[in-house]
């Protein structure tokens, strides 16, 4: 089965840049999506189609993808950005949709 | 305002069945692909199933294929998940989610419900 691999945790100080990676064999051909989930809340889409930002998402959130790795970047991370972040994509056939294991971002 | 409200979660015994519902409002429900995503307590997200706007195409995760059936009623603005032969590992919060693009995209869930809890236990 298809897998997306994320680091379990990332830690930065407020104002620093946080980068969360997501690796998958199909990412050269398939879009990556990123979700933010704060404790006790439903997930929120923060990046779609590799690098597009939905309306209402702060500009400090950006996405990129190169080869088999997609990256979520939070420029000038704030305390309120502390959350679990999940990448999502599909395999080359498009039949298997998967989330990465999630990355806990700590900002302190 | 988009609203998705799940219902139907319950405590059920292994092997039994359960039907989840998701009531949608605030958007043209019949123009969007819809999905179910689940999350076991304290664990990560797992995509479960998706359905096209006109029900012509459905897709399932390997873990539920053959046991779960997704459906929708566009007249009632409702999404459903029929879950049969439930197992302990199906215990999770179940979220319904709407895709961001009415143009037929299957991915990118821009609206989520608050989830309904399914517990499978003797």
Number of CB atoms found within 10 A of residue B21's CB: 17
Longest dimension (CA), chain A: 41
pLDDT tens by residue, A3-62 = 999 999 999 999 999 999 999 999 999 999 999 999 999 999 999 999 999 999 999 999
Nearest chain A alpha carbon to B96: A42
A to B CB pairs, distance under 8 Å:
59
Picking from B37, B46, B110, the nearest residue to A54 by CB comes out as: B110
Cβ-contact A76, A17 below 8 angstroms:
yes
Interface with A, mutate which of B35, B45, B114 (most A CBs under 10 A)? B45
b/e map A14-38, b = 16+ CB within 10 Å? eeeebebebbbebbeebbbbbbbbe
Task: Please give, rounded to a whole number of angstroms, the shortest distance from the CA of A103 to a CA of chain B.
Answer: 10
Picking from B47, B62, B107, the nearest residue to A31 by CB comes out as: B107
Mean of the per-residue pLDDT values for chain B?
96
Report the helix count and the strand count for chain B, using DSSP H and E: 0, 11
pLDDT tens by residue, B50-82 = 999 999 999 999 999 999 999 999 999 999 999
Annotate A16-39 with three-state secondary structure. Answer: CCEEEEEECCCCCCCCCEEEEECC
H or E element, residue A86: strand A83-90
Residues of B with CB under 8 A from a CB of A: 37, 44-47, 50, 59, 61-62, 95, 100, 106-110, 112-115
Cβ-contact A51, A64 below 8 angstroms:
yes
Does the distance separating the beta carbons of A98 and B62 come in below 8 Å? no
The closest of B2, B44, B11 to B116, measured between CA atoms, is B11
pLDDT tens by residue, B78-94 = 999 999 999 999 999 99
């Amino acid at each position: 089965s298809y897998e997306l691999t994320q680091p379990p945790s990332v830690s930065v100080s407020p104002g620093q840049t946080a980068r969360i990676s997501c690796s998958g064999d199909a990412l050269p051909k398939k879009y990556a999506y990123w979700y933010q989930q704060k404790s006790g809340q439903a997930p929120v889409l923060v990046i779609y189609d590799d690098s597009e930002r939905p309306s209402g998402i702060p500009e400090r959130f950006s996405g990129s993808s190169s080869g088999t790795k997609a990256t979520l970047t939070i420029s000038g991370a704030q305390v309120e950005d502390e959350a679990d972040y999940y990448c999502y994509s599909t395999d080359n056939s498009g039949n298997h949709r998967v989330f990465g294991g999630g990355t806990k971002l700590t900002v302190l | 305002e988009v609203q998705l409200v799940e219902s139907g979660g319950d405590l059920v015994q292994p092997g039994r069945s359960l039907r989840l519902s998701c009531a949608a409002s605030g958007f043209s429900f019949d123009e969007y692909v819809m999905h179910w995503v689940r999350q076991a307590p304290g664990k990560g997200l797992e995509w479960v199933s998706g359905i096209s706007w006109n029900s012509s195409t459905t897709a399932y995760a390997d873990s539920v294929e053959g046991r779960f059936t997704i459906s929708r009623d566009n007249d009632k603005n409702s999404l459903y998940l029929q879950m049969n032969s439930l197992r302990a590992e199906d215990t999770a919060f179940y979220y319904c989610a709407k895709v961001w693009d009415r143009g037929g995209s299957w991915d990118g869930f821009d609206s989520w419900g608050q989830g309904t809890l399914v517990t499978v236990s003797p």
